Amino acid sequence: MKKYLKWAAVGFGAIFLGIQAVQPDRTNPPVDETQTIEALLKAPPQVLTIIQRSCFDCHSNKTNWPWYSYVAPSSWLVASDVKNARAQMNFSEWGKYKGLRAVSKLDQICMNVDQGTMPLPIYLIMHPSARLSKAEIDTICAWVEAESERLSE
C-alpha cells in the first residue's frame, strides 16, 4: 500500500510540475492615460480610490498579478477572469464607451456593487481589502447617478 501511495505522490508531483509549462498570457496592455476613466469622467478622489482598490486588478490594464497567478492551475483561472473582466468593462479604455453605452457601463457598476456580485466573492478570499462597505457602495452609486445624469444631457 505504501508503495502505491509513493508512486501516486510521484505521479501527482510530475503532473503538477508538467502543467507549470502551460502559462497563460499575463500582459498588461499599454495605457493611454487620456482614455482612462480618471481622465474622462468627473470622479471625486474618494470614488477613484475605491474603484482602484476594488476593481482595477481585473477591470483595467493595470493588473497587479499576484504570486498565485504564476502557479497552474490557478494561473489559468486568474488570467481567464482578468481577460473576461476586461472584455466586459475596462477602466483603462473608458474612451471606447460613448453616449448611452458609457451610461450603461456606469449603471452596471452601481448595480453590481449594490447586489454584491462585484468584486467577485472568490476574489475577495485572497483580497479582503477589496471588500466594499455599505458607505463605499453608496458613494459609488451616488457618483454613478450624478455622472449618468451629466452624460445623458
Q: 41: helix, coil or strand?
A: coil
pLDDT at residue number 22: 67
- What is the reported pTM? 0.85
146 burial via Cβ count (<10 Å: 0-12, 13-18, 19+) = middle
pLDDT at residue number 16: 67
CA distances from 34 to 42, 67, 91, 140, 153 (A): 13, 30, 11, 22, 22
pLDDT at residue number 19: 66
Query: Measured on CA atoms in the order 43, 44, 47, 53, is the torsion positive or negative?
Result: positive
Tens-level pLDDT at each residue, the chain (153 residues)? 787 787 777 777 676 666 676 677 788 999 999 999 999 998 999 999 999 999 999 999 999 999 988 888 888 889 999 999 999 999 999 999 998 899 999 999 999 999 999 999 999 999 999 999 999 999 999 999 999 988 887
